[in-house]
Amino acid sequence: MINTEVEVRPATAADLSAVNEICNQYVAETHYTFDVEPMSMDARREWFSHYDAAGRYRLVVAVSEGRVIGYASSSRFRPKPAYETSIETSIYLAPESVDRGAGSQLYEGLFKLLEGEDVHRAYAGIALPNPASIAIHERFGFKRVAHFTEQGRKFGRYWDVAWYEKPVGAEPNDPAAD
């Protein structure tokens, strides 16, 4: 692995077209994301409105030589209120920028921003196979907690999804409260 010189910073509206281009390539060509149609820029801007400069829901980009080469996000896991302290994370690099350490720098940046936030668990759903995604999630302390079979259909076939979980923050349940 060659380490790329990368700056990781919160995303701005000006980054969205690069983010959309990276994502839409994976939408069109891979099973890694279960979106099946490319996202329009209007839809991407609406998506971006769910992220903030503070709190649980963040979007960071990796910039190399002035160009956005990838992004990572933390999103709401499920809508019901008790799920609030769980987030789902996601990470995508431009295909020419993989396997050079940029993904690890993105996740470092994302999890640093989440320090001190009211988050207890992070989840990542990895459509299989995807050895690079498994490797980076394990590197960041995610553990496989479930294997759902044929959970999605794309390109005319079903795909299994492995769900990974990572404890975030230091507040355990109080045993006295059980």
The site for ligand COA (CB under 6 A) is made up of 1, 26, 32, 91-93, 98-104, 126, 130-133, 135-136, 139
Q: Give min distance, CB of 16 to ligand COA, in A.
A: 18
Q: Give min distance, CB of 29 to ligand COA, in A.
A: 10
**Cβ count within 10 A of residue 18:** 18
What is the distance between the alpha carbons of residues 94 and 168, in angstroms, rounded to a whole number? 27
| 30 vs 118, beta carbon nearer ligand COA | 30
What is the distance between the alpha carbons of residues 59 and 10, in angstroms, rounded to a whole number? 6
Q: Give min distance, CB of 174 to ligand COA, in A.
A: 33
| 145 vs 170, beta carbon nearer ligand COA | 145
56 contacts 169 by C-beta, under 8 angstroms? no
| 99 vs 115, beta carbon nearer ligand COA | 99
| 96 vs 178, beta carbon nearer ligand COA | 96
DSSP labels, 44-90: HHHHHTT--SSSS--EEEEEETTEEEEEEEEEES-SSGGGGGEEEEE
Residue of minimal Cβ distance to ligand COA = 103
Q: Give min distance, CB of 72 to ligand COA, in A.
A: 8
| 6 vs 119, beta carbon nearer ligand COA | 6
In terms of Cα–Cα distance, which of 43, 38, 35 is closest to 152? 35
Q: Give min distance, CB of 69 to ligand COA, in A.
A: 9
First to last CA, the chain: 47
